[in-house]
Structure 1
Amino acid sequence: MVTPSTAGDREKVVSKLPSWLRQDLKVRAAELGIDIQDAVSAGITAWRSAAPEACPSVDTSGSSSFSTWLPPGQWEDLKDTCAKRDGLPFAQGLAQSVQMWMSTHPSPRHRPVSGVVQRKVVINQKGGVGKTAIAAGVAQALAEDGMRVLLIDYDPQGHLSDQLGVEQLTPGTDSLVLHMCGEAKGALTDLIVTIDSPRFEKRLHVLPACPDGFLLDAKIAVARMRNKEAALERALQPVEKDYDAIVIDCPPSLGMATDAAIYYGRRRPGEAAGISGMVIPVLAEDSSATAYAMLADQIESLREDLNLEIEYLGLVVNLYDSRRGVVATSSLREWRNLEDQRVLAVINDLKEQREAVRKHMPLLEHAPYCDQSEGMRQIARQIS
């Protein structure tokens, strides 16, 4: 529907837009100090001049009413272009236009300030605490907000790769393990997969797992290399220039592979504080506190033995459900009161993450504004 303004310089247009895209547009326009109507108008102009193959489809399910003011005739121009593109729905044309404006106007937040790639090591040797969900969610939140992100499935079990629908690497072929041990034949970039989702605009990449990761501790132990703790850093150094942030989903282990990940996440010379370091998912239960103490001992040993600056970026209390009673509520209180540590977020045990895993798709694509997705954004804002 189009309603002329009294001044005649704009027309009120009423269409539909997905709630998540409408919210993104509102936030991005505010960040850049641009009126929403001007952003939409610029997006329509760019979309109409772009080739159809350069305009990926947008999931418009759950769209609701959206109104804005456009220059006279621009809405009719959009409708004409939709007709020429095989009868594309008008709401889809508008959504693609807004998405195109978003992709060419990234958020001013979360830019590297030191010229050093940010390194987030999601770590805990205890299994079942949700390291994979937190690593994936944080990486998605960073990519959604304009950063180029490499998400590394460092766990040979490959849960991260499977959850995102990325095929694991075949044993016997090049892998991160072979690059770490100096035995690779090709370039590491050849192994990296782009997550094909308009939400991340090709900024989210994954280095898949390979089952040969089960041999990593043994291979590092017998390898003839200097500074074995730096094996992961040497392997990733060639691709660091391509990314703003690298997020590592660690295996549940206290072995050499974990030492290499901790070393990689240390604070480098000239790097700002609070940017690179350890993100530790925990549960609100007693056994998780015991596991955390063991991990802290390992981190402190590396810090002292190699004279490293290793930062705890914070804890994430994951899979929380207060209905589990006093054990859960008292454990949460103890995590929050832990000296020299902070809780970045409490992620409730809700269905959206499990649904995303079942669908083999990113959480922030499956349910962009569920409580869990907002929790991932909360973590990302505090550590970037």
Structure 2
Amino acid sequence: MRPACHLSIFDGSMLPRMASPTSGGEREKLVSKLPASLRQALKVRAAQLSTDVQDAVTDGIQAWRAHSEPLPSVDTAGAESFGTWLPEGLYDLFKQDCAARGVSYIQGLAQAVALWLEQNPADDEAAPTRRIIVCNQKGGVGKTAVTAGLAQALAEAPREPAGKTNGAAAAARAAARQGLRVLMVDYDPQGHLSHQLGLKAIPAGRESLITHMLNREQAQTPLIDLTVGIEEARFGDRLRILPAAFDAFLLDSGLTMFRGPRHAALERALAPLEEHFDVIVIDSPPSLGLAMDAAIYYGRRRDGEKPGSSGLVIPVEAEDTSAQAYGMLINQVVSLTGDYDIEVEQLGLVVNKYDSRRGYIATSSLEKWKSLGSPPVLAVIGDLKEQREAVRLQRALLAYSPESDQAHHMREIARRLT
């Protein structure tokens, strides 16, 4: 027998009122619009608090109805479709209150969600944006591939664990689970990360990350406006990149003449972006100069930050020259931490392009990397073809070949860092 169905009007749309797909009594479907930033914040916060999105919206609307003082208007320009379930009858009361307060249903819903976010902070809300610096002074070890793959894995919506069944409960869990908001920063003047994702480096003389590092007072364009979204469905709207700049070739010399604290120039430039992202992953240049000092300093552990949140991820190869380059990088880190009395964590090593057929040098080098213990080896990635194919097609690896071994290794790294 088909369930009883009543008609309801929401901003002019005829909507069915029926039982909710989850337990908890009769509910009615609410379909409206919500700004993307609020929608994302709602899903992330609900996941953090282990709360269903429908319950969060219900609580928000009830708190909004009980709020006696006028609430600030929310910018709803560009709001997109949003749906959830409300207890039966709450929708009609919400409509009446919107009419009494002289606000549209979309504005009322946005205010209710914003109020719920304000009244329900996450336990770790005060924690700073995580900063992951992918670095090695040696070129060709796969820094760019690891930067891109790790960022994609963090932004990708988590999958249902094996053994979970489909249905209403799975749908409710999926609605509350989202990937992280991730920014990739192409800090390497060679611009390989930008190129691999089909973007050109910002031309010399145009505003870029370098402008904001060296001449922020003269910059006219907010740095967030220079970021570009990665348009792949599996990342939603959560993955962006700040493209490389040709001016980055002159960054070390520019920092030499910089009047401010040179080691903090990158942090000073990226600070305004942190509120927009959960994680910032930086593809570093293959150098040990002042630009690298600034990147290492940016990845330091901040006051109040949990251990293992931010720091260095170091791609290496299973051969001797990679070990020598690693030693040089660590010497730079030790010098910097001593000079500025900071703590910089080595989050882990990624042994990249590994092929046991290369014989004793490869196998013995891998064992040496593993024997370090700290930092741990996060993953051992073979010299496989999918990454090269994705680069040729200028697509994200996890979108081009989501079930490849390389893609699973990137997810493994992300899991071990979260």
Structure 1 distance, partners of 2:372, 2:219, is: 43
How big is the shift at 1:339?
4.7
Deviations along 1:5-30, one digit per CA (max 9) or x if unpaired, are xxx899xxxxxxxxxxxxxxxxxxxx
Deviations along 1:248-280, one digit per CA (max 9) or x if unpaired, are 000000000000000000000000000100000
Structure 2 distance, partners of 1:323, 1:379, is: 24
Note if 1:180 corresponds to 2:213: yes
Structure 2 distance, partners of 1:266, 1:246, is: 13
Aligned partner of 1:322 among 350, 356, 361: 356
Note if 1:380 corresponds to 2:378: no
Q: TM-score, normalised by structure 2?
A: 0.66
Task: From the superposition, tell whether residues 114 and 335 of structure 1 become closer, same or farther in structure 2 (CA, over 3 Å).
Answer: farther
Q: TM-score, normalised by structure 1?
A: 0.71
Note if 1:370 corresponds to 2:404: yes
How big is the shift at 1:202?
1.1
Could you tell me whether the CA contact under 8 Å between 2:127 and 2:304 is conserved in 1? Answer: no
Aligned partner of 1:169 among 202, 211, 216: 202
* SS, match of residue 235 in structure 2: coil
Aligned-CA RMSD value: 2.4
Task: From the superposition, tell whether residues 257 and 111 of structure 1 become closer, same or farther in structure 2 (CA, over 3 Å).
Answer: farther
How big is the shift at 1:50?
9.1
Note if 1:157 corresponds to 2:190: yes
Which runs of 5 or more structure 2 residues have no equivalent in the other structure? 4-20, 23-27, 37-82, 85-121, 158-178
Deviations along 1:109-144, one digit per CA (max 9) or x if unpaired, are x99664310100000010000000000000000000
Note if 1:279 corresponds to 2:291: no
Structure 2 distance, partners of 1:164, 1:152, is: 12
Could you tell me whether the CA contact under 8 Å between 1:150 and 1:205 is conserved in 2? Answer: yes
Q: Which residue of 2 aligns with 1:203?
A: 238
Q: Which residue of 2 aligns with 1:88?
A: none
Q: Which runs of 4+ in 1 moved over 6 A?
A: none
Task: From the superposition, tell whether residues 372 and 114 of structure 1 become closer, same or farther in structure 2 (CA, over 3 Å).
Answer: farther
Structure 2 distance, partners of 1:122, 1:200, is: 21
Deviations along 1:149-207, one digit per CA (max 9) or x if unpaired, are 01000001000000011222121100101100124232111210001111100100000
Note if 1:357 corresponds to 2:369: no
Q: Which residue of 1 aligns with 2:303?
A: 269
Could you tell me whether the CA contact under 8 Å between 1:112 and 1:118 is conserved in 2? Answer: no
Amino acid at match of 1:335: W
Could you tell me whether the CA contact under 8 Å between 1:356 and 1:366 is conserved in 2? Answer: yes
| 1:190-339 equivalent positions in 2, closer than 5 A | 190-225=225-260, 227-339=261-373
Amino acid at match of 1:144: E
Amino acid at match of 2:138: K
Q: Which residue of 1 aligns with 2:141?
A: 129
* SS, match of residue 240 in structure 2: strand
Amino acid at match of 2:314: I
Aligned-pair identity in percent equals: 55
Structure 2 distance, partners of 1:112, 1:324, is: 46
Structure 2 distance, partners of 1:248, 1:323, is: 32
Q: Which is higher, the Rg of structure 1 or of structure 2? A: 2
Structure 2 distance, partners of 1:195, 1:283, is: 29
Which runs of 5 or more structure 1 residues have no equivalent in the other structure? 1-7, 11-37, 40-44, 55-99, 102-109
Could you tell me whether the CA contact under 8 Å between 2:348 and 2:374 is conserved in 1? Answer: no
Q: Which residue of 2 aligns with 1:140?
A: 152
Amino acid at match of 2:414: A
Could you tell me whether the CA contact under 8 Å between 2:151 and 2:182 is conserved in 1? Answer: yes
Task: From the superposition, tell whether residues 236 and 361 of structure 1 become closer, same or farther in structure 2 (CA, over 3 Å).
Answer: same
Amino acid at match of 1:314: G
